[in-house]
């Protein structure tokens, strides 16, 4: 089990936060929502590299940002940490779910800036990844 040692965790509040969870063999699902304040940003920046490190070489990362609002500069940098973390994992597949068009554009821009945009598939429906 690639995530045998991985404990699902939730950080933040209904106003903004994130949750890591394994959604099946080789799948790391990160659900992010709302607008992130400082404490959430700090926690995400600290946990993102470690979480990616637990992903199997041929695993799949699903970023469910369907309830995420466009973020400020600090949160964007924390998300860049996650996206840059994909660079050495060339075989990892990644999918981003975003419904808010401006959020989707922000994530697309961050992915492009991190040089991993070509490896990430976008979707706008959470159910499309439920089986992933």
Partner 1 sequence: MGSTEEQAAKAIYKFYDALEDLLRSRGTGGMKEIWHHGDYVTTAHPFGDWARGWTEVAANWEEGAAVFATYKGHDARTDTIGGIHELKVAVMGDAAYGTGVYKSRLYMSDGPIDLRVNCTNIVHRIDGTWKLVHHHADQAPPDWQAAIGRMVQAGHS
- Pairing between strand 93-97 and 16-22? unpaired
* Closest CB to partner 1 among residues 100, 126: 100
Quote the least distance from Cβ 77 to partner 1, whole Å.
Answer: 13
Q: Which residues are registered as beta bridge partners of 29? A: 21, 62
Q: Does 35 bind partner 1 (CB under 8 A)?
A: yes
Q: Does 105 bind partner 1 (CB under 8 A)?
A: yes
Q: Does 101 bind partner 1 (CB under 8 A)?
A: yes
Q: Using the rule CB under 8 A, which residue among 48, 69, 116, 129 binds partner 1?
A: 69
Q: Does 115 bind partner 1 (CB under 8 A)?
A: no
* Closest CB to partner 1 among residues 2, 70: 70
Q: 71-90 mask for partner 1 (x: CB under 8 A)? A: xxx-----------------
Q: Does 108 bind partner 1 (CB under 8 A)?
A: yes
Q: Which residues are registered as beta bridge partners of 97? A: 64, 123
Residues 79 and 48: their CA atoms lie apart, in Å, by 8
Q: Using the rule CB under 8 A, which residue among 11, 17, 51, 104 binds partner 1?
A: 104
Q: Does 42 bind partner 1 (CB under 8 A)?
A: no
């Amino acid at each position: 089990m690639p995530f045998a040692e991985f404990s699902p965790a939730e950080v933040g509040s209904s106003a903004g936060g994130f949750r890591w969870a394994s959604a099946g063999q080789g799948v790391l699902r990160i659900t992010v929502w709302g607008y992130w304040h400082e404490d959430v940003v700090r926690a995400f920046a600290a946990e993102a590299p470690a979480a990616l490190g637990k992903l199997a070489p041929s695993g799949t990362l699903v970023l469910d940002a369907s309830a995420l609002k466009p973020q400020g500069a600090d949160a964007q940098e924390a998300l860049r940490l996650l996206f840059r973390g994909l660079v050495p994992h060339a075989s990892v597949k990644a999918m981003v779910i975003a419904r808010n068009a401006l959020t989707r554009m922000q994530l697309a821009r961050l992915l492009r800036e991190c040089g991993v945009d070509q490896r990430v598939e976008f979707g706008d429906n959470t159910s499309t990844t439920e089986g992933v």
